Amino acid sequence: MSDHDIEASDAEERMAASTSDASLRRSLERSAEIERAIATDPSKFRIMTGDRPTGNLHVGHYFGSLANRVRLQNAGVETFVLIADYQVITDRDGTGPIKERALSLMADYLAIGIDPSRSTIYAHSAVPALNQLMLPFLSLVTDSELRRNPTVKAELDDSNGRPMSGLLLTYPVHQAADILFCKANLVPVGKDQLPHLEQTRVIARRFDERYGRAVPDRPVFPQAEALLSEAASVLGMDGTKMSKSKGNTIDLSMDATETAQRIKRAVTDADRFITFDPTNRPEVSNLVMIGALCTGRTPESVADEIGNGGGGGLKKFVTEAVNEFFAPIRARRIELAADPGYLLSVLRAGNAHANEVADATLADVRAAMNMAY
Ligand code: TRP
């Protein structure tokens, strides 16, 4: 076995291990430690996160990740938010109305409180030096590592027999470039994304081992860590994963009437008495949870209050709670969406800053690789 093989199989084991229970517990403990460190000194951290511009952000995104990003930004952590436009073509043919979707995502971001004076919002495709990192990074991963990546496998399984494209296979490497171009050391993610972060750390470490450093004592890239949130995952109105393609979402961009219609069609069950019991009553409990998140109450107290009100009482409560909670965000979003010129100007400013950062990183990479001509 060559050195390289040893290196690769170690990494594969670590990646497999990163989804095991023990390692999940470690990641959660580490996340709690990081939260304490942020409270002490937010300037030690740089966060990178983002979304594909494939459709509207919804309540599931909001409670699953967006609210947490805004909290971290407001705690003083420098934040980079990626509109992952190139990633859209990993698992679909063509881009769709991508510019409109990128601007719609921008409107969602600004409406929820991502503040462009504190956070850099930028698009993949506008940052050439970020994409150029992909080339040396590809030299640091093996074909079998990529094929084993659980997220790549999951996306391939979901793609209805569509053959694996080169971009789908290598998108964890591209995602590593997203994270490392700005030398981010913290990525707020759900646990399904842990293998990506492990792959990113492996790439950073191998770059250091193989190509060296631009400055003697300092590796070019940091070891990026996951910040797992404790957020409950919110399901769609049919009790399955909230997803645009299933028509089961409640979007940030919907109005009160559309929201009421979606919730009216939500699946409940035959038991009139409302309880919070996610294992045995997933659909009802999901609605209770959404009501709780929007009112800042515990799901148990929401369930108690509705009690004998049945599915109708539950839906009425949830509709009012969602509409009230999201009203200010939606009002801001309407204003923002009416001014695409402004949205574009925010994106251009973010792109300009991202390019400066990416150019500086690429200069370090060239220096480390002895390619600074
Ligand atoms: N994979 C994320 C999504 O599907 C988007 C994304 C791309 C991302 N690059 C990233 C998230 C880097 C965190 C870090 O929405």
Q: In this model, does residue 31 exceed pLDDT 60?
A: yes
* 67 is a domain residue: yes
What are the Cα distances from residue 345, in Å, to 21, 147, 158, 323?
45, 39, 36, 30
Helix/strand/coil for 132: helix
User: Distance between CA atoms of 48 and 38, rounded to whole angstroms?
Assistant: 15
* 62 is a domain residue: yes
Ligand 1 nearest-atom number relative to CA 189: 13
Ligand 1 nearest-atom number relative to CA 49: 13
Please name the residue whose Cα sits nearest to atom 2 of ligand 1.
51
Domain at 293, CATH number? 1.10.240.10
Mean pLDDT over each residue of the chain, to the nearest integer: 92
Q: What is the pTM of this model?
A: 0.91
Lowest mean pLDDT among 18-22, 121-125, 216-220, 278-282: 18-22
Lowest mean pLDDT among 48-57, 190-199, 268-277: 190-199
- What phi, psi does 122 have (nearest 5°)? -145, 165
Q: Which residues contact 62 (CB under 8 A, 6 or more apart)?
A: 112, 252
Do 77 and 90 lie in a common domain?
Answer: yes
Ligand 1 nearest-atom number relative to CA 175: 9
Domain at 171, CATH number? 3.40.50.620
Do 308 and 358 lie in a common domain?
Answer: no
Do 176 and 148 lie in a common domain?
Answer: yes
Please name the residue whose Cα sits nearest to atom 13 of ligand 1.
49
* 196 is a domain residue: yes
Do 218 and 272 lie in a common domain?
Answer: no
Q: How many Cβ atoms are within 10 Å of 300's Cβ, its own excluded?
A: 12
Please name the residue whose Cα sits nearest to atom 15 of ligand 1.
51
* 24 is a domain residue: no
* 328 is a domain residue: yes
* 36 is a domain residue: no
Q: Domain range for residue 306?
A: 256-337
Band (pLDDT 50/70/90 cuts) for residue 317 is very high
**With a 6 A CB cut-off, is 152 part of the ligand 1 pocket?**
no
| Cα 187 to ligand 1 centre (Å) | 10
Q: What's the sign of the alpha-carbon dihedral 239, 241, 242, 245?
A: negative
pLDDT at position 28, please? 86
Do 98 and 163 lie in a common domain?
Answer: yes
Could you tell me which of 250, 346, 256 has the C-alpha nearest to residue 57? 250
Do 307 and 356 lie in a common domain?
Answer: no
pLDDT at position 17, please? 52
Do 205 and 346 lie in a common domain?
Answer: yes
* 284 is a domain residue: yes
**pLDDT per residue as tens digits for the range 209-246:** 999 998 998 999 999 999 987 776 899 999 998 988 88
C-alpha triplet 38, 44, 46: angle, nearest 5°: 90
Lowest mean pLDDT among 171-185, 234-248, 263-277: 234-248
* 138 is a domain residue: yes
Total domain count, the chain: 2
